[in-house]
């Protein structure tokens, strides 16, 4: 959401040149204390720095943004290392999702992403088009809308930690605004079919029922020990099969050792469908990893894992 643009109207750094009409008082006016003389340039500099522009509906201080970009490009590799350290410290359950990630490669991707944003600040059509493609790609990776604020917060915190006092509050605010704007555009490109079971409901009638019975007598949906995007289609198929002509199902999740965003999205869609269609879902021994992953992404309430 856009923030109110701060006006620079009324500020005239050359106003002091208009004192020529009162030449008699000029000598007296020049008798300034050293403290006053020091304050004026500081005030001028403070007012001069802000150059507000609109980017993707967000008001951003371009001067602070570009200053931050200049500082960030020199410390990308260090920042990426610190970013992942902080991410895994705060959210240890997500570490398996990054097991094949090389920090040097990620530093290169980060550099390209930042350059894309900065180079197209005044070319919104190009920026939107590129971010839309990136959004579709990241949805395929299993990235959820809830991921983006966490990444933005930790990335900016890492820049601040590595760069130090030169990374000011104004720079942090400008970059947070730009990253939020970019994330909103990427998320707007997400396809509904991945997050809405209702959109594939017609497929239910065409899918043969696959029921695995346990002691409860209800059909069971088994989650794999590694439940990632490569198994999303299979999970979707099993879900559709189980909700066909059943009033109650169980989800067996005791063996889950890793689960990514794509699987959690599908499960959330299943629970949303259940609430709307009076379907009862019971968990069977959900693993701690599953619970932690759902909590990190803010999905524990939807998935009834509280």
Assigned domain for 265 exists: yes
Residue 129 and residue 201 in one domain: no
What is the per-residue pLDDT for 203?
Answer: 42
**pLDDT at 20 (0 to 100):** 38
* pTM summary value: 0.51
- Same-domain pairing of 237 and 121: no
Q: Tell which of 190, 213, 238 closes a domain.
A: 190
pLDDT for the residue 51: 87
Q: Which residues pair with 53 in a beta bridge?
A: 60
Check whether residue 180 and residue 214 sit in a common domain: no
From 190, 212, 243, give the residue that closes a domain. 190
- The Cα angle at residue 272 between residues 269 and 278, in degrees rounded to 5: 130
User: Looking at residue 192, what is its pLDDT?
Assistant: 62
What pLDDT was estimated at residue 98?
67
Residues 231 and 267 both lie in one domain: yes
- pLDDT, residue 93, reads 62
The verdict on residue 289 lying in a domain is yes
How many other CB atoms sit within 10 Å of the CB of residue 245?
10
Same domain, 183 and 204: no
Cβ pair 50, 14 in contact under 8 A:
no
Residues 176 and 217 in one domain: no
Q: Are 222 and 272 in a shared domain? A: yes
Are 120 and 218 in the same domain? no
Are 81 and 155 in a shared domain? yes
Query: Do residues 294 and 304 lie in contact, with contact meaning Cβ atoms separated by under 8 Å?
Result: no
Q: Looking at residue 49, what is its pLDDT?
A: 61
For residues 94 and 294, give the distance between their C-alpha atoms in angstroms, rounded to a whole number: 10
240 within some domain: yes
The verdict on 257 and 163 lying in the same domain is no
What is the distance between the alpha carbons of residues 141 and 54, in angstroms, rounded to a whole number?
30
* Shared-domain flag, residues 201 and 181: no
Residue 219 is classified by DSSP as B
Q: What is the pLDDT along the chain (306 residues), one digit of tens a residue?
A: 444 434 333 333 333 333 333 434 444 444 455 554 455 554 444 444 678 899 988 999 999 999 999 999 889 888 888 888 888 887 776 666 666 677 777 778 888 888 888 889 999 998 899 899 888 888 777 777 877 888 888 899 999 999 999 999 999 999 999 999 999 999 888 876 444 434 434 443 343 434 444 455 788 898 988 887 677 778 888 888 888 778 899 999 999 988 877 788 788 888 888 888 888 999 999 998 888 888 877 788 889 887
Of 126, 138, 127, give the one whose Cα is nearest residue 181.
127
Question: In degrees to the nearest 10, what's the CA dihedral of 120, 122, 123, 129?
Answer: 60
21 lies in a domain? no
> Within 13 A of 145's CA, how many CA atoms are on the CB side?
13
- 227 lies in the same domain as 272: yes
The parent domain of residue 203 ranges over 194-296
On whether residue 45 sits in a domain, the answer given is no
């Amino acid at each position: 959401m856009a923030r109110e643009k701060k006006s620079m109207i009324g500020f005239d750094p050359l106003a002091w040149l208009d004192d020529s009409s009162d030449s008699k008082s000029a000598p007296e006016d020049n008798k300034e204390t050293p403290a006053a003389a020091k304050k004026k340039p500081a005030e001028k500099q403070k007012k001069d720095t802000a150059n507000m522009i609109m980017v993707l509906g967000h008001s951003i201080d371009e001067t602070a943004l570009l200053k931050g970009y200049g500082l960030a490009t020199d410390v990308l590799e260090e920042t990426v290392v610190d970013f992942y350290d902080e991410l895994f410290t705060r959210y240890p359950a997500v570490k398996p999702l990054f097991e094949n990630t090389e920090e040097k490669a990620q530093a290169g991707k980060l550099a390209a992403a930042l350059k894309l944003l900065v180079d197209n600040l005044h070319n919104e059509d190009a920026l939107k088009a590129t971010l839309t493609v990136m959004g579709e790609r990241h949805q395929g990776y299993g990235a959820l809308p809830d991921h983006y604020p966490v990444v933005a917060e930790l990335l900016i915190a890492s820049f601040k930690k590595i760069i130090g006092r030169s990374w000011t509050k104004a720079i942090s605010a400008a970059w947070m605004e730009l990253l939020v704007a970019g994330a909103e555009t990427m998320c707007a490109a997400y396809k509904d079919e991945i997050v809405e079971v209702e959109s594939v409901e017609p497929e239910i009638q065409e899918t043969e029922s696959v029921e695995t019975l346990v002691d409860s007598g209800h059909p069971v949906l088994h989650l794999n020990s590694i439940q990632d995007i490569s198994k999303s289609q299979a999970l979707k198929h099993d879900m559709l099969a189980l909700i066909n002509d059943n009033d109650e199902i169980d989800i067996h999740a005791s063996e889950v050792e890793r689960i990514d965003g794509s699987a959690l999205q599908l499960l959330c869609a299943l629970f949303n469908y259940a609430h709307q269609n009076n379907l009862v879902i019971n968990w069977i021994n959900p693993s701690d990893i599953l619970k932690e992953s759902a909590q990190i992404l803010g999905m524990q309430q939807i998935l009834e894992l509280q």
